[in-house]
Structure 1
């Protein structure tokens, strides 16, 4: 079995565009979220990561699973997979890039070249569902 990076991600749409973030020193954007800490549930991870990365508070009781997506990690030839378990949730607060986040952006499905392979799957899914342009 191939090694796996298991991440939780937030799907947040406004004006038919998807919120993404970019770390300092990186070219590609990604869906906000991250890896679980020991003992965390998916929703606990989502709440913690969004507070850390974007300084917003996610209402845990509103989290809804959107889908789980897998793709090979970018720039890897060893078969490393990324699994992205995605949720929507209501939030409060304004987006403030925090910690390692340098920039946020709002993307359409046609801007898949700006994100990782697994995030392109999410963009395509949202476009197929007529949720983003």
Structure 2
């Protein structure tokens, strides 16, 4: 089974909504991010991917490390992702670029849509919720 090493970011707006992205020609919404390039650290990869995908430039210190997660890949049959996930506050609007077709916002008080990537639904969201609760405690 092929395993893709990726880095992704949970980007939250002022209302506490989570930014989701959908790649062109796919159905699943996921976190912005992508595969590491040779020699890149997870932090370098996520910063590069955010710049490419949503034209967002963040300083490294704006990102908190959330954890490392594994799940079936949303858009690649018989593949898995091994993801380092970071968290940051989004201070200004972003727009889709590169291979992205659509952005969406996940409201924490709304039911989860059925087209979330497995990594996000099964692994990241429960940990993100605990992280956000600890921030406000």
Note if 1:22 corresponds to 2:40.
Answer: no
- Go from structure 1 to structure 2 and tell me whether the alpha carbon gap of 1:74 and 1:93 turns closer, same or farther (over 3 Å shift): closer
Q: Deviations over 1:45-77 (max 9, x none)?
A: 111111100011011133221111111234777
Task: Give distance in 2, aligned partners of 1:77 and 1:21.
Answer: 19
- Go from structure 1 to structure 2 and tell me whether the alpha carbon gap of 1:108 and 1:42 turns closer, same or farther (over 3 Å shift): same
| Structure 2, unpaired ranges of 5+ | none
Instruction: Give matches, 1:79-90, under 5 Å.
Output: 80-89=79-88
Task: Give distance in 2, aligned partners of 1:40 and 1:93.
Answer: 27
Shift of residue 129 of structure 1? Answer: 4.5
Task: Give distance in 1, aligned partners of 2:75 and 2:100.
Answer: 21
Task: Give distance in 1, aligned partners of 2:77 and 2:56.
Answer: 36
Given that 1:58 and 1:92 are in contact with CA atoms closer than 8 Å, whether structure 2 keeps it comes out as no
Give the count of matched residue pairs: 129
Q: Deviations over 1:1-54 (max 9, x none)?
A: x53111100111122321110111111111000011111111111111111000
The TM-score normalised by the length of structure 1 is 0.82
1:36 is aligned to: 36
State the secondary structure of the residue aligned to 1:44: helix
Instruction: Give matches, 1:1-133, under 5 Å.
Output: 2-14=1-13, 15-74=15-74, 78=78, 80-89=79-88, 94-108=93-107, 110-120=111-121, 121-129=123-131
Task: Give distance in 1, aligned partners of 2:92 and 2:75.
Answer: 35
The TM-score normalised by the length of structure 2 is 0.80
